[in-house]
Amino acid sequence: MSDTDRLPTWCAGNNWCAITATASLVGKKWHPVIIDRLLRNGALGFNDLQTEVDGISSKVLSESLDDLEEKRLVNRDVVNDKPVRVEYSLTELGESLEPVVRSLAEWGQKHLEPAEDESASLV
């Protein structure tokens, strides 16, 4: 990966900048799940991706994909004009988040358990 593939970031403190900047890229509720599903499945159309990311609304998925595309983590490719069909895939930069997403999943499997109900959940 070249320096031109790096994302510009600004932080007030350099000692923690890499952590907070990375967390802001993938820290939105659905972003790591979308990245995970694209890592697992490769390119997916909008409806297939929505099925894979169970529980996300069309509006939130669309906004999340726009945000991930703007941050150069996801590609949006028109694969058919009539009817319009779009596929989403990870960029090289997005694919490089695989160890981060895997670590999040492993930590969660080790340290989290289902709550009795939503009010008992800490997150």
- pLDDT value of position 60: 97
Q: Cα–Cα distance between 50 and 79 in angstroms, integer?
A: 18
Q: Which residue has the higher pLDDT, 67 or 7?
A: 67
Would residue 110 count as lying in a domain? no
Q: Cα–Cα distance between 108 and 85 in angstroms, integer?
A: 35
For the cut 70, the answer to whether the pLDDT of residue 2 exceeds it is no
CATH number at residue 54: 1.10.10.10
Q: Which domain holds residue 45?
A: 30-104
Would residue 8 count as lying in a domain? no
Q: What is the mean pLDDT of residues 93-102?
A: 95
Number of domains in the chain: 1
Would residue 62 count as lying in a domain? yes
Would residue 67 count as lying in a domain? yes
Residue 99 binned pLDDT confidence (cut-offs 50, 70, 90): very high
User: Which conformational region is residue 58 in: left (phi greater than 0), alpha (psi within -120 to 50 degrees), or beta?
Assistant: alpha
For the cut 80, the answer to whether the pLDDT of residue 108 exceeds it is yes
Would residue 87 count as lying in a domain? yes
Q: Which residue has the higher pLDDT, 83 or 65?
A: 65
- pLDDT value of position 94: 96
Would residue 119 count as lying in a domain? no
Q: What is the mean pLDDT of residues 68-72?
A: 94
pTM of the prediction?
Answer: 0.84
Report yes or no: 35 and 72 within 8 Å, Cβ to Cβ: no
